[in-house]
Structure formats: C-alpha cells, structure tokens
Structure 1
Amino acid sequence: MVYLGNYASPVGDIVLGSDGENLIGLWFKDQKYFLDSIKEDTVQKDDLNIFNETSKWLDKYFSGEKPLISDLPISPRGSDFRKSIWKILCEIPYGKVITYNDIAKEIANQKGIEHMSAQAVGGAVSHNPISIIIPCHRVVGSKGSLTGYAGGIDKKIKLLEHEKVDMSNLFIPRKGTAL
C-alpha cells in the first residue's frame, strides 16, 4: 500500500507518496511520469507524519531557507543506475546548475568506464520520483538549455529563479521555440 498526500506549493499542486515511513514520491499533479514508480494500490492519507515533515521542509524551501535533504527520510524507487544519478543530484548546491554531461562524466568516473551517455543520464533524471527535494530542476543541457523537466519547463524556471540561479547564461525556450 502506498499513501498519498497533498501540498499546495507556490508553483503548483504537489502529490506526496509514502510507504508509511519514508517519502517515496513528490510529483507535480499530472506531471509526466506521475506515480510512475508506484505499482501498489494507493490510498489518500494526508495526516501521515512523513507528510507533515515533508510539508515543513517544503514550507522552509519556499520561504527561502535551504533545508537539507538529509532532514527527511527519503527512499526513491528505481534501478541502481537511476539511484546513482539521483544521488549525484542531491549533491548539487542550491542556486547552482550542472549539465547532463557533467553527471555522465561523474558516473563514467565512478564506474571506471570511458564514456557514459548523457541521454541515459537524462532518462534517469526525468524519472526522479522525488522532485524538488532531489533537485532534478538543477540539471540543464550542455549549452545551458532548460530541457527535460517532467513537471514542465515553466516550473523548472520558477524553481531556478526561486533559488536565485544566474539565468543569464541559460537558454530559456519560449513558446514555439525548438531546442
């Protein structure tokens, strides 16, 4: 059984997921891959302690504080490869961005291999089940393009602006603009 809760954020409604003790999901309502990692039945239960803790964490984040990821018991579900990518995401500082290629190089280094596909990294980043807290919004394309955010590029931009990321070197797509 997976429990679901809700959080109203300044950038859109959020659905929280838990196994009863750990946070296993945080999705923008109706985002791409919504509840993708959840195979069990779900039940609405807003009053779980983990949801209260997560709401407090998000309140701090949206008020401009920089709460630590380690402040919450998170347990994202995914393959070992995806988890290795998500671990790197957790190390990206507030207000900074890195590229998919940076992550690919780090993974190649960790595995002792010559090359890792940035596209494979992109697939893992896009399937991050705990948005915001595991900060996939801090990953950009190799030339600073704001690509691939399952919650939508508009939300990615708002989150980066909220964190006061220097947007001057980033390519922000406009409607009708191909990347």
Structure 2
Amino acid sequence: MHCILPSPCGPLRIEASPQAITGILFLDEDVPVLPPTSPLLAEACRQLNAYFTGQLTRFTLSLAPAGTAFQQQVWQALLTIPWGEQRSYGEVASAIGNPRAVRAVGAANGRNPIPILIPCHRVIGANGSLTGYAGGLERKRWLLAHEAKC
C-alpha cells in the first residue's frame, strides 16, 4: 500500500506493509495527491508534515527497510544522528566499527529506501561538502538547511 504526500521537496510516495514503512520515493513530476489508506500511512503523513513545519524532530514510526546485513547496520547508525547534525561517511564507518568501510558506507547510504525517516541526508563528505544524494543534491541541501533553521 502507498500514498502520495505533497512536500517542500516535491511529492513523496510513501510505501508501507501492514506493520511498517518500507519506502519513501522522491517523485520528480507532479502527481495527484493520493490519501493514506491505512492508519500507519496516515501517521507517516502526519509526522512528515510536522517535520516539514519544524514541529517534529524525531520520528516514531515502525520502519522495515529491505537490505543486506551491512546496509541495515549503516541505516541503524544513521538513525542515531541527531536532528540538525551531520556526520561524515568516515564517522559513520567508525560508528559501525569498520573505519575502513567508508566507500561501502557511502554505497549503503545511497541505497537507503526510506530517506528522511532514516536521515541519510545528514551524511556529508569529510571536508563538509555535500556529496551524492539519491534524491538529488538540491533536496539534500534543502533538508539540511531546514533542520539548521528550525
């Protein structure tokens, strides 16, 4: 099941199983709003809207991203990055106990199926540069600026 939520970053397709959010996709074209068809999707929309208005800094949704054991480990580490803060790929690699896995962390970050809720936008280059973002660098820049000002 899924719904389409308008957002400042463009329309978001939110996907869910009956128990958990499984994906968020940034859509590059305008599509009609598709209202939530379950209480879980309705709550996801409510929390995302509160995030976008600066009223929510921590999500409390059940998440079920599909990925390898390594990817799951990286995504769990991303969930520990506080609102408004950033970490480098190297810092995330160290946090999972594998400081030499910087490129693998970058690849796992890029495959995050639940952006925003799993805050892969908070991972930046070692020199502070905005490097790669599956949703596009403009969205990453917007999300970081939004969190910095709220």
TM-score (norm 2): 0.90
Report % sequence identity: 37
Alignment of 1:17-166 (within 5 A): 17-30=15-28, 46-69=36-59, 71-108=60-97, 115-164=99-148
Q: Once the 2 structures are TM-superposed, how far is the Cα of residue 49 of structure 1 from its aligned partner?
A: 1.3
Amino acid at match of 2:139: K
Counterpart-to-counterpart distance in 1, 2:83 and 2:143:
10
Counterpart-to-counterpart distance in 1, 2:141 and 2:131:
10
- SS of 2:95's equivalent? helix
Q: Report the RMSD for the aligned CA atoms in angstroms.
A: 1.8
Amino acid at match of 1:54: A
Q: Once the 2 structures are TM-superposed, how far is the Cα of residue 108 of structure 1 from its aligned partner?
A: 2.5
Structure whose alpha-carbon radius of gyration is higher: 1
* 2:57–2:83 CA contact under 8 A, matched in 1: no
* 2:5–2:35 CA contact under 8 A, matched in 1: no
TM-score (norm 1): 0.76
Deviating beyond 4 angstroms after TM superposition, the runs of 4 or more aligned structure 1 residues are: none
* 2:3–2:35 CA contact under 8 A, matched in 1: yes
Residues paired across the two proteins, number:
145
Distance change in 2, residues 1:62/1:123 (3 Å): same
Counterpart-to-counterpart distance in 2, 1:91 and 1:65:
19
